[in-house]
Structure 1
């Protein structure tokens, strides 16, 4: 349970407005065939690189001071939206997502951010990095989820990644993610 006044933080790739709009339109067109319980606000779409959870102020400030030197050396790069998928039980998935095509650039950025967070002392999830954009949570259909409906998201929309953001979570707001610090790429 999150204590009042204690926010969670995560480092993520910020998506451009046109990608958020594309995904928002896709969701509007397909929401009825995918009855999930909670749909993510389009302004909250992102690709998480490292989930920090609650962050002590000193550690958070060390991260804010160190990431410009790490990310400022990294060139901008292009990602392409790819397909939709789920995490969790096949019949009742807990996460509905869109992903991007494989990107060595994205993986390199994530590894650098992850290593820096670990070096500062954050305890991070050790699961392999699975880049995705969460669209919805908690299957709420009367029938079991049909994985055959998982397809390409269409359009193969390409976009440039030019900044990474440290977000602060505000569970009592919509949208609930607020930019705490922004780190431009080269």
Structure 2
């Protein structure tokens, strides 16, 4: 089972790296779009209308993809003070409870993101010409990645493999 989980971890590490690159690219694009908007407004006196809507949609993508990668790599929000004094067995239980909570949250993101996308799909974002539901696809996809990455953490822990915790930059190479 450990060998299978190591193969899964390698695949999900690639998925996480792609998500991180997409997030970084989105951050750069959003910054460029907003810079163009400011330049157009204050220098050219001709504000481009598409930049703000595009930036908001891109921001959703880099936030949710980045959050999912943060969950996989152990950088999600946590309160670890109590964990420093607890035995390892109790720590593993609490880490698992945390991961199960993130799975539930990710499922909620996917479900309610789908409902939002479905209800807004017939509308159009006026200055882009896209369906309004496009704005919520990042919520669905980010929630999906959160679920997958949290389930990976649970499975790794169940197999006796380490999972990244806050402050560790990545999983040990021998555990991938």
**TM-score, scaled relative to structure 1:** 0.28
Higher strand share: 1
**TM-score, scaled relative to structure 2:** 0.29
Structure having the higher Rg = 2
Higher relative contact order (CA 8 A, sep 6+): 1
